Structure 1
Amino acid sequence: MKLSNLILFTIASIAFFYIQLWDDRIVTPLYLFLLGFSTIYGVYTKNINMAHIAGFIFILTGISHIIFETGLINEATPEENKLLQGTLIYGTQLLISLLIAIVLIFRVQTSRALSKSKNIELTHFDGVFHWIFIYMAAVNLLALLENIAWSYFELKSWTLIYDNFEGLIYIAWALCCGALLTMMICSKKPTEQLAQ
């Protein structure tokens, strides 16, 4: 099976699976589990590049999950102030997505600052992950702007992003998990075997 077909099949399968679940109480822990598993797998196989990529995403996504699960934002803002609440929710997610994208853009430099391993190098997958989180940042920015239009300017028909927010995020998560699973598969098989 060619590498490109393998990647597309993996991503399509995960996207289909996530969208079928369509419940953040199931999908978010599953996503975090896959990130954690990828990190552990990278450590176990001594693939420091995979361990760092998955680990950075896992830690920052975990922080985001903790912020929202503990209700820090909802407790900090009055529920009747939808403009402030939406701005904090989408603004926080926007900042976290941008932070992950920046960390992944400078992943090799960050990894070298954290580890003295000589195996830290730029991989083919380093060119993929930051784009996923730039996409997520764009979705959160559009959601933030839509929330402002909805709550401040009373444009109540502007709910396109809000109505499809979970699906748009699940697509990014599926891309991320698909790329990580493909990275695991590629780390076990030589490139020549994948090309056949």
Structure 2
Amino acid sequence: MKVSDLILLSIGSMLFFYIQLWEHQIVTPLYLLLLGVCAAYGVYRKDINMTHIAIFILVLNTIPHIIFEIGIIDYVTPYQDQLIRGMLIYGIQLLFSLITVITLIFRVQISRVLSKSKHIALTRFDGIFHWLYMYTFTIYLLALLENIAWAYFEMKSWTLIYDNFEGLIYVAWALCCGTLLAMMITSTKSNHHDEKEEAIS
């Protein structure tokens, strides 16, 4: 099976899986768990590129999740102030999405700073992940602008992003998980191929 077919199959499977769940309390922890599994698999396979990609995404998604789960925003601003509250919620997500984009664009350079491994290199998957987070960055930005229009300018009919927010983000997460799954599978195949070549030689 070609790599492109494998990626499409993996992404399609993850999209179908996420659509069946579609609950924040389930999807977010599951997404973080899948990222953790991919990072652990990368360590097991001694694939430094996979490990770093998964860890970078995991850390930059875990921090905002912790911020929201422990209720920092509730302490900072009252629930009634929807303008400031919305700006904080979407602003934090926007910031971490931007940091993720930058981190993934310069992933190889950052990996080389963190590790002296000679196997650090640009993979065929590096070009996919930052686009997914550029998409989430766009959604967070639109949500932030929509919240300002809704709360400050009293445009109460502007709720398109708000009404579909979780679904729009979950699509990106499913695509990310599908790509990670394809990366794990191709890594396994690559290792098997290398082992065969070593056995022949």
For Structure 1 versus Structure 2, the TM-score category normalised by the shorter chain is over 0.9
Which residue of structure 2 aligns with residue 179 of structure 1? Answer: 179
Equivalent positions of 1:25-44 (< 5 A) are 25-44=25-44
Secondary structure of the structure 1 residue equivalent to 2:4: helix
Provide, for residues 16-61 of structure 1, a one-character-per-residue CA deviation record: whole Å limited to 9, x for no partner.
2112211110001110000000000000100000000000000111
Which range is displaced more, 7-16 or 77-86?
7-16
| CA deviation after TM superposition for structure 1 residue 190, in Å | 4.0
1: CA distance, partners of 2:55 / 2:8: 23
| CA deviation after TM superposition for structure 1 residue 15, in Å | 1.3
Which residue of structure 2 aligns with residue 83 of structure 1? Answer: 83
The runs of at least 4 consecutive aligned structure 1 residues that moved more than 4 Å come to none
What one-letter code is carried by the residue in structure 2 that aligns with 1:82? Q
5+ residue gaps, structure 2: 194-201
The CA RMSD over aligned residues, in Å, is 1.3
What one-letter code is carried by the residue in structure 2 that aligns with 1:94? L
Which residue of structure 2 aligns with residue 64 of structure 1? Answer: 64
1: CA distance, partners of 2:117 / 2:3: 28
What one-letter code is carried by the residue in structure 2 that aligns with 1:159? T
What one-letter code is carried by the residue in structure 1 that aligns with 2:104? L
Percentage of matched positions with identical amino acids: 66
Q: Say whether 1:159 aligns with 2:149.
A: no
TM-score, scaled to structure 2: 0.93
Which range is displaced more, 141-150 or 17-26?
17-26
Equivalent positions of 1:97-176 (< 5 A) are 97-176=97-176
Higher alpha-carbon Rg: 2
Aligned length: 192
| CA deviation after TM superposition for structure 1 residue 171, in Å | 0.5
Secondary structure of the structure 1 residue equivalent to 2:133: helix
| CA deviation after TM superposition for structure 1 residue 12, in Å | 1.5
Provide, for residues 75-124 of structure 1, a one-character-per-residue CA deviation record: whole Å limited to 9, x for no partner.
21011100000000001000000001100000001000000100000111
